[in-house]
Amino acid sequence: MKEILSPLHVGQMNLPSNEAFRAAFEGIFARRHYANHGPLEQHLDKALAEHFQVRHAISVVNGTVALILLLKALDIQGEVITPAFTFSATAQSLLWAGLKPVFCDVNVESQMLTAAGVTKAITPATVAILGVHIWGRACDPIALEELAAERGLKLIFDAAHATSCTFAGRRIGGFGDAEIFSFHATKVLNGAEGGCITTNNDALAARLRVMRSFHDGTGDPSGLLRMNAKMSEAQAAMTLLGLDAIDGFIAENRARYERYRKNLAHIPGIRFLHHEGYGENNYQYVVSQIDAQAFGLTCDALSNALQARNVLVRRYFSPGLHKSPPFSEERWNLPVTDDLCRSLLQFPSGQVINLEDVDAVCSLVRSLQAGTL
């Protein structure tokens, strides 16, 4: 078995070609316009709206700020129903916006909120639903739209994982009142930090454009709360370069994902999540579920054994937000979330992991399962 000599990471960044990068940055240096709504930022907002098939995309510095800004722009107060099976930014943003997260358990198969589950969690204090498109799979958007309309609730989605993903033939980005994306280094679209809010609501988009900056040039008289959330030209350049290259990144991601799935298809107790029935995926996350009894090792033990051999698998989103401060001060009963946190393992992927690396990781997993190491 081939020894893995250097660490293999989850989520190592996707990069454009050096030539494209140099040309974009030479342009910024030549213009000496680095911030405050330069030409690249303006171009990016149009390109993102086109990509996500929405009327408006408002680029901002990162996905967390996108969420906080959106929540403030919605001007709501009270409880927001959201999953605990997500990255901490989802629920922390609610706290930053002065809202109370109410965790709702997720569906065992989709690993996301469902309209049926959310219905049970609604109280008189509920003002909104914040769904998360985990692993780029769509979070029951049509049923949640119906429920939100029926109950008079705002509906927004954390689509940090879902750039270029679709549902029912539509790009994720246009569901609910608005959606947010992340262009962090670990995402399929890497803007050297970045994010955006997408919406088809003209009035909400206009508020967001004022609120994201002190420099929108409109002399807005509304007195809306404002912050410096706008992208720099460097971030806009990186995001535009990533958008140009994204189809290639997704094709490479898919090849790695399918290689993992094929290599380990007959190993008992490990299965890779599929995306059939959820629309097109970007394959940025190679997520496996471990059945400890059938595999012969717990997910924890497998994770430790792989990490010790340079395969830096990750346990997203263990132990779940409900068991992490500050949310753990309250008691939550979320058995499906607990089970997912115990059993899911993400494997190395991204541009720097080649198919031979995938083969080496899979052969290690086979040996660990067979107990021959």
Selected range binding ligand T4K among 81-89, 101-109, 257-265, 328-336, rule: CB under 6 A: 81-89
282 binds ligand T4K (CB under 6 A): no
| Window 189-218: residues binding ligand T4K (CB under 6 A) | 195
The minimum distance between CB 70 and ligand T4K, in angstroms, equals 12
Q: Which of residues 221-260 bind ligand T4K (CB under 6 A)?
A: none
Segment lying near ligand T4K (by CB under 6 A), choices 45-53, 104-112, 158-166, 267-275 = 158-166
Q: Out of 54, 58, 60, 89, which residue is the one contacting ligand T4K (CB under 6 A)?
A: 89
Nearest to 5 by CA among 309, 354, 242, 258: 309
**39 Cβ contact list (under 8 Å, min separation 6):** 31, 33, 233
Shortest reach from residue 21's CB to ligand T4K, in Å: 15
Q: Which is nearer to ligand T4K, 127 or 185 (CB)?
A: 185
Smallest distance, Å, CB 73 to ligand T4K? 17
Does residue 357 bind ligand T4K (CB under 6 A)? no
Q: At what angle do helices 233-263 and 39-52 cross, to 10 degrees?
A: 40
Contact between residue 215 and residue 226 where contact means Cβ atoms under 8 Å apart:
no
With beta carbons less than 8 A apart as the criterion, state whether 267 and 365 touch.
yes
The region of 23-31, 146-154, 178-186, 300-308 touching ligand T4K under the rule CB under 6 A is 178-186
**Toward ligand T4K, which CB reaches closer, 12 or 337?**
12
Instruction: Using the rule CB under 6 A, give the single segment among 3-11, 36-44, 76-84, 106-114 that binds ligand T4K.
Output: 3-11
Instruction: Tell me: does residue 182 bind ligand T4K (CB under 6 A).
Output: yes
Residue type, 95: L
CA dist 21 → 62, 141, 195, 235 (Å): 20, 36, 19, 12
Q: Is 132 in the site for ligand T4K (CB under 6 A)?
A: yes
**In the bound complex, what is the minimum distance in angstroms from residue 11's beta carbon to ligand T4K?**
4
Does the annotation mark 187 as catalytic?
A: yes
| Per-residue tokens: 170 | 């539509």
DSSP 341-368: HHHEEEEP-STT--HHHHHHHHHHHHHH
- What distance in Å separates the CA atoms of residue 35 and residue 212, rounded to the nearest whole number? 13
Q: Which of 91, 118, 160, 290 binds ligand T4K (CB under 6 A)?
A: 160
Region 291-330 residues binding ligand T4K, contact defined as CB under 6 A: 312, 316
Q: Per-residue x/- mask for ligand T4K, residues 44 to 73, rule CB under 6 A? A: ------------------xxx---------
Buried b (16+ CB within 10 A) or exposed e, 121-155: bbeeebbbbbbbbbbbbbbbbeebbebbeeeebbb
* Candidate list 120, 187, 230, 323, residue with the active-site label: 187
Identify which of 278, 360, 323, 243 has the alpha carbon closest to the alpha carbon of residue 112. 278
Name residue 314's beta-bridge partners: 346
Residue pair 195/249 in contact by the 8 Å Cβ criterion? no
Contacts for 201 with CB less than 8 Å, ≥ 6 apart: 55, 56, 177, 178
Count of residues in contact with ligand T4K, rule CB under 6 A: 23
Q: Which is nearer to ligand T4K, 183 or 272 (CB)?
A: 183
* Out of 59, 86, 289, 346, the residue judged to bind ligand T4K by CB under 6 A: 86
Q: Round to whole Å and give the CA distance between 310 and 4.
A: 6
Q: Choose the binding region for ligand T4K from 14-22, 183-191, 267-275, 326-334 (rule: CB under 6 A).
A: 183-191
Residues forming the active site: 187
- Contacts to ligand T4K by CB under 6 A: 9-13, 62-64, 86-87, 89-90, 132, 158, 160-161, 182, 184-186, 195, 312, 316
